[in-house]
Amino acid sequence: MEDRYVEVGGANIRYWAMGSGPPLLLIHGLGASVEYWQQNIEPLSQHCRVYAMDLLGFGRSDKPRIEYSLHYAAQFIADFMDAQGIERASLVGNSMGGLISLQFAIEFPERLDKLVLVDNAGFGRELIWIFRLMTLPVLGEALYGPNERGMRTLQRMLFYDKRFVTDEWVEQNLEMARLPGARDFFLSVLRYGVNLRGLRPEILEPLLAQIPGIEAPTLIVWGAQDRFIPVAHGHIGHRMIAGSRLHIFDRCGHVPQIERAEGFNRLVADFLKGGDCRGQIADCKLQIAPLQSAICNPQSEAIAMEYEDWEAQVPDAIKDDPLWQMEAYRLALFLHDLAWKDCESLIKDIRGREIAKQLIRSVGSISANIEEGYGRGFGRDYARFLSFSVGSARETRGWYYRGRKLLTEMVIEHRYNLLGQIIGLLVTAIGQQRR
């Protein structure tokens, strides 16, 4: 692919371009570059005029000393469009690029056609530990390196399938990380947006307040095994953006545009053309279909019962309670019954008996805290008990991890994803109760 350069705000910006048709901008994440889109540009250019740029401060673009902000980043995208003579475009943003795309959608709605968010920041605080540690002075500089061992370790965190971490890929990323000014710009951007606890509240809270106002057609894509930003954030975003679609690739990490390139390209192309992407990608763990049918596959050993069959046998005394209308509560009860059967498998091995005791206790606490909080009315007191439920859900996920050697891989993955949906629903509900 040919390197091109354009001046944007006085800085030289590298970009790649291909194809003709409606403009499509591909926006990479923190510390990345246009190379992270090299498997997507040509296929997507069959339908669009595709632009992939090195964001200011990254890749081979200039790295000036600036006061970075999310507004500045969104304005940079608008300025890049102006430099290319683009009035309106669709955006695909991965990780930090998705965060910038969200801000662009809020600030420049009249210039946005469609929005694709890929394992993006901006739906919650949680973030991989190494980025949080790198916000500390001195330690951040030491962890950045860059060196071959550190870069390989970081890249292995990025992917579910470690075969993508080739020597060539590591060397390519090392070359970019060693460019003059790369470390300082990376750390300044990271420290602007992140602290030891994750995404800074002063950035996240205004964003969360404005995200529900996004009206552009939106597709959210996530890797089920993302270690950088948890898949629960995808469910949160899906519920915050009206009419959005959610597609989760199983056995996939933080960069599905690389790890699931073929399926990703078909999915995005279909979305941009206005089609319905449900059921077209075979390796999608959770489709865009309604939640209940998405988590139920009668052909899969991962599910001990179908949701519909389970719901049919729930007594009316439970269904007649107004709390039954809460989706997170229904799924928490469903998970409890699945966990009961999982415990039957765990207790067959003496090593799993203590895990089974802790698992059934923690999973029961998810729905029990919802019940307790609901009885206290609405508002902050209710939100407090929903927070307890989130903690129990995370503890449950931890006990499933500890028992993974005694349960099948498909069971573990299904439970992780179901817990991710429950956590996403609860986090959304907590935000609503605290307003």
Contact of 255 with 159, CB cutoff 8 Å:
yes
Closest CA to 194 of 125, 268, 139: 125
Active-site residue (options: 61, 95, 362, 365)? 95
Task: Give all strands of the β-sheet with 11-18 in edge-to-edge order.
Answer: 4-8, 11-18, 49-53, 23-27, 89-94, 112-118, 218-223, 245-249, 284-286
What are residue 221's DSSP bridge partners?
118, 247
Contact of 225 with 414, CB cutoff 8 Å:
no
| Residue 90 designated active-site | no
CA distances (Å), origin 44, targets 24, 222, 278, 279, 345: 9, 19, 19, 20, 46
Active-site residue (options: 254, 365, 367, 389)? 254
Q: What is the distance between the alpha carbons of residues 402 and 342, in angstroms, rounded to a whole number?
A: 13
| Residue 254 designated active-site | yes
CA 207-213-218 angle, to 5 degrees, is 90
The residue assigned the tokens 């990780």 is 95
| Residue 226 designated active-site | yes
Active-site residue (options: 62, 79, 119, 226)? 226
- Residues near 330 by Cβ (< 8 Å), separated by ≥ 6? 311, 324
Q: What is the distance between the alpha carbons of residues 66 and 281, in angstroms, rounded to a whole number?
A: 42
- Residues annotated as part of the active site: 95, 226, 254
